[in-house]
Structure 1
């Protein structure tokens, strides 16, 4: 695929909405898009955070495909990478991350200079930038709220990628500043305690949870993700990291994403994985 300047761009293979637009995976993302449109209809839900209990639940794969599908529907979309620890969004679209959110928040770059157009019409990306040594502190500054306000005024939808809820405090800092949150979880044999802990965090923060997207429910059954080492990846998030300009190898989220089962539009409540179907969040 080529960008607006005609340069060849290699997009991430996980972008099913681009590489296999007629596949069940792509249709599942469009289903999430439709549910999101209905859940936000007539309301001021323009800035939406996507997070998960653990790394490996598929949050980044979900958000990049959701952003593409919304852009394909003719909406003007900005994908903001607020994962200042292990950013992936820029690489999914073949972009650089030398200037991004971190530079805007520290005052060393202007917002307009940090935003990059992608090869997908209607879709722009604000990458992480150089990974800072104080990510949680940067996200608590008034400058971050100012950035969200500016983006809210300029785009139809702003999707915010953030680290896993149970790994670091960053997503809890971001959540009160957005209009709504989508939680993605992967169904596993022992995944219920993590889902409940994530739910409890969101309830305490009084977050507007728009719904839950469930992964691992597909051709291989509800236990498709069983055996994945979530706690090892949580350690990855809390371990020291560098501020190198280049990407480190091996920083993907692990398993490929299976089609998301459903976006529940009910508020955060008791998140219960169902044996052969989506999790739900009843009142």
Structure 2
């Protein structure tokens, strides 16, 4: 445990003398040790009954790291709020509206971005916001909120919206998580396009903003819940690209496919972007 050092350079001890206190007495070993200067407390740990000193933790370094993390977190919050305002402006402030979040490849952080975007919109307290996890191939939204779904696919496709959505406390988005049997293809037989279009339309009747987390464009979704198909059911699409991850040609091809399908592209957001300082001229 870190403790601040004493204000004085020496630790003073009250030495109790015997009855003949007028004479100079030779201090004991413990008294001599107590008079040694203490520059900084030292932590210790034991192994096999032996006591080993641990170098003191530099408090200034810890505070510097905490300050850096705090600045980084505040910067991320400010950036996600700026993006949410840009999306609202692109949609011309009309509600209800559904926004699809996708990426060119898997693992680019779109589920985390969708969760942060929905949380930012809900935190303003001006709109009713719900986050749908329609990435039934690799669902991840439940991990972002520390929840587990307890609904089956058939229940999600047939039940009432109020019974499906997980209500959140405070200024947080409501959630519709992926079903527990999302790997089972049997309930998806039939009119998949009409089923999900009806689902999104029902949810839009109860919420102002519907944020839809979908699968990546590549590889083609094996569950038939393709982001290209979903793009025709929403009001806009945001493509998440992780810096230095997806090849440039894959990102261009993903944008071309979405535009050819008639999707309304709101924009592209770069994840984990680290700007480089220009070299002095």
Pairwise TM-score range, normalised by the shorter structure = 0.5 to 0.7
Report the structure number with the largest CA radius of gyration: 2
* Two-structure CA RMSD over aligned residues (Å): 2.7
Selected match of 2:160 from 110, 119, 138: 110
Give the secondary-structure state (helix, strand or coil) at the position aligned to 1:197: helix
Cα distance, 1:112–1:53 mapped onto 2, change above 3 Å: same
Selected match of 1:172 from 220, 223, 228: 228
Q: Within 5 Å, which residues of 2 pair with 1:263-274?
A: none
Give the secondary-structure state (helix, strand or coil) at the position aligned to 1:23: helix
**Displacement after TM superposition at 1:210 (Å):** 0.8
2:194 corresponds to 1:142: yes
Selected match of 1:188 from 226, 244, 247: 244
2:253 corresponds to 1:197: yes
- CA deviations 1:172-219 (Å, max 9, x no partner) are 221111111111112227621111110111121010011111123226
CA distance in 2, matches of 1:53, 1:145: 23
Alignment-derived partner of residue 103 in structure 2:
52
2:178 corresponds to 1:128: yes
TM-score, structure 1 length as denominator? Answer: 0.64
Cα distance, 1:214–1:66 mapped onto 2, change above 3 Å: same
The runs of 5 or more residues in structure 2 that have no matched partner are 1-69
CA distance in 1, matches of 2:166, 2:77: 24
List, as ranges, runs of 4+ consecutive aligned residues in structure 1 with deviation greater than 3 Å.
Answer: 19-22, 42-45, 135-139
Give the secondary-structure state (helix, strand or coil) at the position aligned to 2:266: strand
Give the secondary-structure state (helix, strand or coil) at the position aligned to 1:125: strand
Cα distance, 1:20–1:101 mapped onto 2, change above 3 Å: farther
Cα distance, 1:100–1:155 mapped onto 2, change above 3 Å: farther
Q: Within 5 Å, which residues of 2 pair with 1:1-283?
A: 23-43=74-94, 46-74=97-125, 75-99=127-151, 103-105=155-157, 107=158, 109-130=159-180, 131-134=182-185, 140-169=192-221, 170-188=226-244, 191-218=247-274, 221=276
Is contact 1:47-1:179 (8 Å) kept?
yes
TM-score, structure 2 length as denominator? Answer: 0.65
Q: State the aligned residue count.
A: 202
Higher RCO structure, 1 or 2 (CA under 8 Å, sep 6+)? 1
**Displacement after TM superposition at 1:47 (Å):** 0.6
